[in-house]
Each structure stands twice: as C-alpha cells, then as structure tokens.
Chain A
Amino acid sequence: MYRFVLRRLLSGVLLLFVITTVAYLLLYAGGGNIARRLVGPTASDAQVALKASQLGLDRPLPVQYWDWLTGALTGDLGRSWFNGQLVSAGVSSRLSVTLSLVLGAVIIAAVISVVIGVWAAVRRGWVDRVVQFVGVLGFAIPGFLIALGLVSLFALNLKWFKATGYVPITTSFGGWAATVTLPIIALSIGCIAAVVQQVRGSLIDALRQDYVRTLRARGLSFNRVVYRHVLRNAGGPALAVLAVQFIGLLGGAVIVEQIFALPGLGQITVAATGQGDIPVVMGVVVATAAIVVAVNLIIDLAQGWLNPKVRLS
C-alpha cells in the first residue's frame, strides 16, 4: 500500500509539471501584444514599451518560464496584469468559494444518490421507474435554468436566500449559508441525477451475483447483505462517477457563479481569459490541475481500500 501511494504521488507531480509547462508555453506564445491592450489603443509606443518592461515581457520566453517555475515552486505565481493582485492570493480566495460549492454539491449528491439509488435498486417496480424518469429530467435540464428558477423563486420572491453575493463562513455562518445554499442545490441536481443511475445500476448488477444468493442462503438478512457486502462492491464505480462529477462541477460552477455573482474560480477564469490575464489563467490552471490530480489520487486510494485487487495492478 505504501509503495502504491508513493507511485501515485510521483506520477501526480509529474503530470502537474507537464500540464503547467505545456499550458505556459501555449498561453505565453499566443499572448499577443498584451502590453498594447493594457495601456489602450491610443497610448504611445513608449507607454507600451514601459508596460512590457514593467511586466517583464521584454525578456526571452525561456527566461520568463524559468522565473515563473522557480517562483511557482515557492508559492509565488506572480501578479495579475490587470489588477495587480497576487495570483496566489486571488486564486486561493476564490478557490475556497468554488470548493465550498463543489464539495457541498458532491456531499449532498453522494448522500442523496446512495439513499435513492439503493431504494430504487432494492424496491424496483414503480419506485424505480419514477427515479429513472426524474433522473433523466434532472440530467436534461441545464444547470443555469435551474439556477435562474431558484433565484427568482427563493431569493427574489420568497426572499429566503440571497440572490447575489458571498459571505465567507468565517464572517458569519448564517450569511454563508444564505449565499451558498441555492448555488449548491443548482449544482447538485445534475450530479445527483448522474450518480443515482450509477448506484442503482451497479447495485442491481451486484444483487444478481452468486455471492448474494449464497449469503442469503446462509440466512443473512437482506439488509445486512445489501449494506455490508453489496454496497461495498458497488461502491467502486459509484465513487468513480462521483469523482468525475466533482471535476465536472469545477467547470459547471462557472455559470452558477456568474448567475449568483459569487467570487469563485469560475468568475476569475472567465474574466482572466477574456482579458488575456495570463498569470491569473496560469494560476487557475495550476490550482485545477492540482485538484484533479489530488481527487484522482484520493479516489485511487479509496478504490484500493474498497477492493484490494486494485492495489496489485
């Protein structure tokens, strides 16, 4: 197990290095005349040159990359070209917003999906059909429509929650809850729809296995068989889907953050990409790549814990 973890960790770091290097070269090579954009079309050439040298863009690309890399290793990702903010500070403050949304949505989705998925797989019949139908519906309705509906009903009409804005959990828990509840619901619906189907499907498959019949024949209660044995076997695929959903939600959060005016990673990504604020885009790339690598690592470990066979491969 120890070597397994180490191997995964090393390959994760290598992956991170490759992703960020490729991203850096692609972004900076295609950067265009950013200094001109920053000082405006009517600025003099001297102003453009001044801006370029302030940003260090007058140096060769390999030098710029080396500076960026050595800085990044010490946690210094530079400053935004557009608002002068430290990239590490900007990205980490926004990461906490996005992570509270995505983690909230994934946890809610995991709990609800397992409950509903087990119910549908065990009861079958009309319960199963209703779950399947609602699941397809939840999957088919775009997240932003759900978000807009939630805003107009629960925030603008009923005034139960905030329509826009974000309050950090450290400032006030109530305020935080009032600002993140609707976005989390909006994000979790599509996620629940996807995971329920997976839980239901793999549970039904597992219930058909011979060992279930054997265990039942030995006199174990149905509930005990389902919760102690079947769920553990069906858990692997469900966990994998949940991980994919988690990574997908990082992207899905972009639109939800826009609608609720939440200062999350999505918002900074859209703004930075639109402006060509490459240091910030790179910061976002580093953060998301690190999250994806970490999530995959955690899932691998969890799979290994659930199913010892994985550890050998």
Chain B
Amino acid sequence: MAAVVAAVALSLTGCSAGGDSSSEQTSQTLTLGTLMAPKSFAAADSDFANVSPFYQAVYDTLLRMEPDGTLVPMLATEWTYNEDKTVLTLKLRDDVKFTDDTAFSADAAKQNLERFKAGTSADAQFLAALQTAEAVDATTLKLTLSAPDPAFLGYLSKDASFMQSPASFGNADIATNPVGSGPYVLDTAATVTGTSYTYKSNPDYWAKDLRHYDNLVLNVYPEQTSLLSAVKSGTLNGSLIDIAMIQEAEAAGYKNNAFEGNWVGLMLFDRAGTTNPALKDVRVRQALNYSFDTKSLLDAVNQGRGTPTTQVFPPSSDAYDESLDSRYPYDPAKAKALLAEAGYANGFNLQMPSTPLVNSSIFALITQQLKDVGVNVETIDAGNNFIADLLSAKYAASYMILEQQSDWQLINMKIAPNSAWNPYKYADPKVDELVKKVNVGSEDEQKSAAKELNKYIVEQAWFAPWYRPQNSFVTDAKTNVELQTGNVYPYIWSFTPAS
C-alpha cells in the first residue's frame, strides 16, 4: 500500500513543505533529495518505497535485494525452505551488534518479525503468511508459514524485516531516534524531523564494503519549486524528480536515470456488473480498451516519456508478453461496434472519481475519449478520499497510477479475489486456478502459469492500461547509481562516488 501511495505521490505533485539544513559537505557525504519523510523510525511502524533510504541507513534486513531483484545474504547468510515451502529456516550472522551494544540474535529477529506483523505499518500484511517464528538457537531462525508465499523471501529484504534493537522497543523517543545495526546512525542533533535528516557512520558496522560514504543527508522536498532550486544550485547528489523538471535538471549538469516503475490507465473494478451492469460484459471492457489513444495521451500528459502498454505486468516479469501490447490498438470504430454488440449501441453512463491530487486535464481527456465512443462519463470529486473510496468499492471504474511489482506481489495486490485493488472481490475460476499454479507450482509451471494468467487478464480486459510512464532519478557528475527493480527509490548501497 505504501508503494501505491508512493507511486501516486511520485507522479503527482506533493502538497506540503520541504527543506534542507545544509552544512559544509565533503566528498564523503552523499546528499539526496526525497519527496516524503518517514512517519516513524520505529521498525514496526516503518514504510518502504519512497521512504526506504531513511530506514535502510539505520536498519539491516535479513536478506538484501540486488538492483536486478536477486536476493543475496544480509543478516541471514543462508536460508532453505522445506518440501512444501511452509517452513523457512535461516542461518544468521553472529558478529552483528546494534548501536546500543545489544547483540543481534535469532531471538531479536523473531521479536522484530512478530512486532512488525502485529504493528501498524501499512505493509504489515507482508507477513500475513507468517504463523510462528522460533529462535532455534542464537543463529538459527525457523519461520512457519500458514501457506506457501512466493513473495515472502522478497518481503524479508524490505521493511518487514528491519531489525531494531529489542532493548529499544520501549524507548519513548524511538519514533525519532532509531536504534539499529545499519551502516549509519541518525544524528538527531543535526536532524530537523520532517525536513532534513543527517546520518553519521556507524563505527561498528559489520559490512563496511556495502557503505560507500561517510555521511548521508536526506532532504525532504514535497514542494517541486524548492526541489528544483536545490537541484539547480547543486545542493543534491541525486534525487527523484518530476518528469517536467528533467530538462532543467539536465541543463544543470545532472544525469537522467530513467525507469518505468508504474502503469497508468483505468482500473475496471466492477467485472461482475454489481454497480454498473455494462461492465459485466467483456465486450464492453474491451471496448474501453480500444477507446484510448494511448500514444497521444502519453505525449500530452508525460511529454511522451514512457511506453504504451495494455498489460499490468512489467517487462521484467515472467508474465510479460510483448505481443499483448498490440492487443488493443486505438480504434474507436471497433469500440463502438463492440458496445453495440453488447447491447449498448446508445452508450451507457459511467461514474468515475476525480481527485485534486491528479491534474484535472486527465479527467477531461478521459471524458472526451470515452464520449467519442458513446460512453457518458460523470466525474465525481472524491477529494482526499480518492484512494479510500476506490478501495471500498464505491466506483465501478477509475483512473489510477499503480506500481508494477514482482509477479506474486502484483497478483496479491490487484488480481486475487482478496487483494486490496480488487475491491469488488471479483473472482474467476480460471484466474484462481492459474494463481494457485503460480503459488505452488514448480519453477517452470510458475512461469508458464504467470504468462497464461497475464494473457487471460488482458483478454478479459480486467484493466485498461495506457502506458508505463517514465520516472527519473537524477544524479550529479560525482555520483553513480544503479536503479532498483521493484522500488521507486534506489537502495542506499547502490550509490557510489564516480571516480
């Protein structure tokens, strides 16, 4: 969920203030711009996506994800599943200390995982499958799952496995003064909460080769004007920036590291026709797919930076099928014909929410394009309740920007009947069967089932995706970065000084 909101916030413009308390910088300080500040440094309340660097600086995870998505050892040196993938045994390092001098152990890991699952993090459901955690001995952790979860190991490389010193769980100031075992220690005296965060090296860090800078400064700029000023004045070594600012950032000597992490288009939630009977007919949903001139939309909305698509799975996924991208070319005549076939020759009415968080011209474009094929769109301003309204099945269809995660995460976020972005809880036996195969099949079965699932979803027009918009992480001449698969913000280990 954090990722969703982050994705929205990334493509839209934030709405509060930002700043940086800059001090004298040396070449050993990495200064980065971010769009939002973390809510709380307590590991059990942590988020990820846009705020991942704030936490990665102070908290280690059990596993680490390389930029290409490969999982490698971190606090856990090895891990094995049992036969039916419900018992995961991890071997842990024995040379790690938290910054309060408490030793890291299997028991500390157990306590952290249990706290995260029971806590108030928006990502607490990452550990939904975790039934029990058991510290077999100081360096052996046994996790028992209620059912196999192909994404579980990936979750252990994210906020779900941030390791905080158990001795600090009760600290009154834990929300602003984290105690972890990560590469840095938050310098609370030099930090302005919500605005600028200064980190110093953790002298006892166990993996010094992962740390490429002595100090780290993370500045928050939800306001694009001040972010652009900070970029143009060379205050930042790197930052996630709005697509509209790329030219100015490039003119200021920054490198544009572009990536496509989201998809934009319509979510067609009401596939059973519960609130809008028209959407029950697959021909109507296909007609909606044919109605959008996605290339022109991309040019108009995102300066042409991005790639038109008709599928919600990313190119890095096993499920991705390039040929599907030409499944629904822009064809209003075909759309009208399909609507007529489905019994809507005179069109139908469709209520969709709008939000001030999204440029209003987008809703005007949607209304216009659908009007051309006879669909009358009524736009209702949902204000700040936009996402909450979508998730509570108030609307049959809506414009949305969503993240493209790894297959299993994506399935559990927008396809499975109990997933958050399937608010009408729509189920289809064929989808259920394929999802099951993706979950428990052999590796080959998983891949082919994912491909089949994607093709089926596109054929059934569960969504009407337009394009994958380009996002950009800019870096100055002194800084190199490797972008991260599946996360909008590069991981802190991926930044290196340019030699």
Interface residues of A (CB under 8 A from B): 36, 38-44, 47, 50-51, 54, 79-80, 82-86, 90, 93-94, 148, 151, 155-156, 159, 162-168, 171-172, 175, 257-263, 266-268, 270-271, 274-275
Contacts and interface: CB of A to CB of B under 8 A. Distances in A.
Contact of B122 (A39, A151, A260, A261): A39
Interface in B14-34: 15-24
Given A261-B20, A263-B21, A271-B194, 13 more contacts: A39-B122, A43-B122, A44-B124, A47-B120, A47-B124, A51-B120, A82-B39, A163-B230, A164-B229, A165-B21, A165-B22, A166-B192, A258-B226
B74 interface: no
A36 to B, nearest CB: 8
11 contacts: A44-B125, A82-B39, A83-B38, A84-B174, A93-B192, A148-B225, A162-B233, A163-B232, A164-B233, A168-B21, A267-B16
A43 B120 contact: yes
A85 B176 contact: yes
B221 A261 contact: yes
What 10 A-B pairs have minimum CB-CB distances, sorted nearest first? Answer: A84-B175, A267-B17, A40-B122, A261-B226, A271-B16, A261-B19, A163-B233, A165-B22, A263-B195, A163-B229
Interface string B201-235: 00000000000000000010111011101101101
Contacts of B38: 83
Contact of B176 (A83, A156, A162, A275): A83
A148 B229 CA distance: 10
Interface string B379-419: 00000000110011000000000000000000000000000
B235 A85 contact: no
B18 A83 contact: no
B405 to A, nearest CB: 14
Given A83-B176, A90-B193, A164-B229, A171 B23 contact: yes
B194 to A, nearest CB: 6
B387 A41 contact: yes
B235 A164 contact: yes
B474 to A, nearest CB: 16
A262 B220 CA distance: 11
Contacts of B387: 41
Size bin of chain B's contact surface: 35 or more
Interface of B: 1-2, 5, 15-24, 37-42, 118-122, 124-125, 173-176, 192-196, 219, 221-223, 225-227, 229-230, 232-233, 235, 387-388, 391-392, 420
A83 B1 contact: no
A164 B192 CA distance: 14
Given A84-B176, A263-B195, A42 B21 contact: no
Contacts of B2: 40
Contacts of B227: 261
A43 B193 contact: no
Contacts of A82: 39, 194
Contacts of A94: 192
Contacts of B40: 83-84
A170 to B, nearest CB: 11
Nearest to A277: B194
Contacts of B192: 93-94, 166, 263
A146 to B, nearest CB: 14
A95 B15 CA distance: 21
B142 to A, nearest CB: 26
Contacts of B20: 164-166, 261
A275 B40 CA distance: 14
Given A41-B391, A83-B194, A259 B124 contact: no
A244 to B, nearest CB: 25
Contacts of A148: 225
A167 B174 contact: no
A164 B230 contact: yes
A42 B124 CA distance: 10
Contact of B120 (A38, A159, A258, A275): A38
Contact of A151 (B5, B22, B219, B229): B229
Nearest to B235: A164
Nearest to B42: A84
B250 to A, nearest CB: 15
Contact of B229 (A40, A171, A259): A259
Given A83-B40, A83-B194, A84-B40, A166 B229 contact: no
B232 A156 contact: yes
B193 A155 contact: no
Contacts of A275: 16
Given A84-B175, A163-B232, A163-B235, A50 B120 contact: yes
B41 A42 contact: no
A83 B16 contact: no
Contacts of A274: 15-16
A267 B446 CA distance: 49
Nearest to A90: B193
A43 B258 CA distance: 32
B196 A263 contact: yes
Find the residue from A43, A148, A261, A266 having the highest chain B CB count within 10 A: A261
Given A261-B230, A275-B16, A39 B22 contact: no
Nearest to B177: A84
B176 A261 contact: no
Contacts of A43: 1, 120, 122, 124
A268 B119 CA distance: 27
Contacts of B119: 47, 50
Contact of B226 (A84, A167, A172, A260): A260
Contacts of B226: 164, 258-261
Contacts of B125: 42, 44
A268 B194 CA distance: 8
A259 B223 CA distance: 8
Nearest to B236: A164
A83 B225 contact: no
A172 to B, nearest CB: 8
A156 B232 CA distance: 7
A80 B41 CA distance: 13
